[in-house]
Structure 1
Amino acid sequence: MAKPNKKGPSKSVDIYCAKCGEKLYRYRKGGKGALVKCFKERITEDYTSNLGVCPSCNSVFGRDTLVRGTPAIKIVGGKTRMK
């Protein structure tokens, strides 16, 4: 399978915790669909201290995985919001 484009799309979104509203990431997202995974190379600003854990409410919103051979964070459904 093809690897994701390193430069990525130009559209950036903010990702927030659905439980407490804390800002988690600034991410270059491609497409119009729901947020299922975040490729680590496309994260422009990271506000978390532990990978996949909200810094304020400590809820787990994602897990570390490989997608198409590239490191990514697989997002748990309903745990995050995008703006």
Structure 2
Amino acid sequence: MAKPNKKGPTKTVDIFCSACKTPLFKYRKGGKGALVKCFIERISQNFTKEPCICPNCNRPFARPAVIRGIPAYKIIGGKVTFK
């Protein structure tokens, strides 16, 4: 399996909780598609206190996973929005 690009994309997106609109991450996302996973090494700013839990409403928004040998968060559908 191919590993994700080390340098990664330069475009960042802001990821918010869909329930309470609290900022969760600033993430270097590649491509135009939906947000399915977040590689931990591409998160430029992390606003969460506990991994995969919204700091404001305490709802889980993702699950920890290993994708292509790299630690990542698999996003639960409909739990986050991004701009």
TM-score by length of 2: 0.99
Secondary structure of 1:41's aligned partner: helix
Query: Partner amino acid for 1:65?
Result: A
Q: Structure 2: any 5+ residue segments left out of the alignment?
A: none
Secondary structure of 1:66's aligned partner: strand
Superposed displacement of residue 6, structure 1:
1.4
Residues 1-83 of structure 1 mapped to structure 2, 5 A cutoff:
1-83=1-83
Runs of 4+ in 1 over 3 A off after TM superposition: none
Number of corresponding residues: 83
Root-mean-square deviation over aligned CA pairs: 0.4
Percent of aligned pairs with the same residue?
59
Q: Structure 1: any 5+ residue segments left out of the alignment?
A: none
